[in-house]
């Protein structure tokens, strides 16, 4: 799933294609709900690689009761004593649901390994057990799709500087982002090791070249639609009835206060 960042995608073409894909995502959502599918999509990758942007475009037109985003905070002291996968299992989908994991159990193979937040024993156990855990999910009827967003160090630096210098994006920058720059080689080695153990035939990794945000979004959503079999639902014809106001009497104390219309004041 690569793209050429030098071959820019025109805004008009991008927006047109995105609308077409979002129409298909709605069809997918309705089929998941209709057929009782259970879908999990994992989004991993470098900091500032654009995972959040893709997730936002996927969910933008969807029903949050069907398609939910799960982005877990740091584990609590209690969760640290549980079976590692336990906190994620509680967020797995029921029939008719699609879950988008913004970061996932692969934290253990990435940030926890690099930053020393887990022991070598815990890390090695994760690499051994993760493929079997994912095979269990597949055998239970869950469709699992895994994406890794790859971004060059030059592009990451550009995006970090934009976050630092843009008030509306400043909240996205964290001290961990600085560490990701300091430990670039360690994160790369951790990613390679993770792929060696968990890029399996049953649950492969799909790599998204994310240096060009617009192309990455289009490529990822297009690919996702090919990974989940779906059909368009035929809706029945609906005739909208007129409003029946018979018997309604407005209360004399039913005063409504409207917010100011700023446009009428200009």
Q: What is the mean pLDDT of residues 118-125?
A: 98
Report how far residue 112's alpha carbon sits from residue 217's, in angstroms, rounded to the nearest whole number.
27
Residue 28's pLDDT band (cuts 50, 70, 90): very high
Q: Are 44 and 103 in contact (CB under 8 A)?
A: yes
pLDDT above 70 for 32: yes
Does residue 141 fall inside a structural domain?
yes
Neighbours of 130 (CB within 10 A): 21
In Å, what is the CA distance from 58 to each residue of 28, 149, 254? 11, 15, 41
What is residue 266's predicted lDDT score, i.e. its pLDDT? Answer: 63
Q: What is the mean pLDDT of residues 3-26?
A: 86
What is residue 2's predicted lDDT score, i.e. its pLDDT? Answer: 47
Does residue 255 fall inside a structural domain?
no
- Per residue in 125-143, pLDDT tens? 999 999 999 999 999 999 9
What is residue 1's predicted lDDT score, i.e. its pLDDT? Answer: 57
Q: What is the pTM of this model?
A: 0.88
pLDDT above 50 for 172: yes
Does residue 111 fall inside a structural domain?
yes
What is residue 175's predicted lDDT score, i.e. its pLDDT? Answer: 77
Domain, as residue range, for 29:
11-235
pLDDT above 60 for 5: no
Does residue 264 fall inside a structural domain?
no
Buried-exposed string 152-191: b where 16+ CB fall within 10 A, e elsewhere: eeebbeebbeebeeeeeeeebbeeebebbeeeeeebeebb
DSSP structural state of residue 106: G
Domain count of the fold of the chain: 1
- Per residue in 68-106, pLDDT tens? 999 999 999 999 999 999 999 999 999 999 999 999 999
Q: Are 198 and 192 in contact (CB under 8 A)?
A: no
Average pLDDT, the chain: 92
Any idea how long the chain is?
A: 266
Q: What is the mean pLDDT of residues 150-179?
A: 83
Q: Which residue has the higher pLDDT, 44 or 159?
A: 44
pLDDT above 50 for 196: yes
pLDDT above 90 for 108: yes
What is residue 253's predicted lDDT score, i.e. its pLDDT? Answer: 64
* pLDDT-above-70 percentage for the chain: 95
Q: What is the mean pLDDT of residues 189-214?
A: 97
Report the half-sphere exposure of 207 (CA within 13 A, side-chain side): 11
Does residue 201 fall inside a structural domain?
yes
Q: CA nearest 73: which of 55, 87, 53, 90? A: 87
Neighbours of 148 (CB within 10 A): 22
What is residue 7's predicted lDDT score, i.e. its pLDDT? Answer: 64
- Per residue in 49-58, pLDDT tens? 999 999 999 9
Q: CA nearest 97: which of 181, 38, 19, 175? A: 38
Does residue 47 fall inside a structural domain?
yes
Q: What is the mean pLDDT of residues 8-15?
A: 92
Does residue 231 fall inside a structural domain?
yes
Does residue 179 fall inside a structural domain?
yes
Report the half-sphere exposure of 218 (CA within 13 A, side-chain side): 19
- Residue 28's contacts (CB-CB under 8 Å, 6 or more residues apart) are 98, 225, 228, 230
What is residue 101's predicted lDDT score, i.e. its pLDDT? Answer: 98
Question: For position 106, which CATH number holds?
Answer: 3.40.50.300
pLDDT above 60 for 4: no
């Amino acid at each position: 799933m690569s793209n050429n960042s030098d071959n820019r995608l025109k805004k008009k073409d991008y927006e047109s294609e995105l609308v077409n894909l979002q129409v298909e995502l709605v069809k997918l959502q309705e089929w998941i709900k209709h057929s009782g599918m259970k879908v999990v999509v994992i989004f991993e990758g470098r900091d500032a690689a654009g995972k959040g942007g893709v997730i936002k475009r996927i969910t933008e037109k969807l029903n949050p009761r069907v398609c939910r985003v799960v982005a877990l905070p740091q584990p609590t002291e209690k969760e640290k004593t549980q079976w590692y996968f336990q906190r994620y299992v509680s967020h797995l989908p029921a029939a008719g649901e699609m879950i988008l994991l913004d970061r996932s159990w692969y934290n253990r193979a990435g940030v926890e390994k690099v930053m020393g937040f887990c022991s070598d024993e815990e890390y090695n156990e994760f690499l051994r057990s993760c493929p079997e855990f994912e095979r269990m999910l597949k055998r239970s009827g869950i469709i699992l799709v895994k994406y890794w967003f790859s971004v060059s160090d030059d592009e990451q630096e550009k995006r970090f500087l934009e976050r630092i210098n843009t008030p509306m994006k400043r909240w996205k920058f964290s001290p961990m982002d600085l560490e990701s720059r300091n430990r670039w080689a360690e994160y790369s080695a951790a990613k390679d090791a993770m792929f060696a153990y968990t890029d399996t035939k049953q649950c492969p990794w799909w790599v998204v070249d994310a240096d060009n945000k617009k192309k990455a979004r289009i490529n990822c959503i297009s690919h996702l639609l090919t990974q989940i079999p779906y059909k368009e639902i035929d809706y029945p014809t609906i005739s909208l009835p007129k409003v029946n106001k018979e018997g309604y009497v407005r209360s004399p104390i039913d005063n409504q206060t409207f917010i100011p219309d700023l446009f009428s004041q200009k």
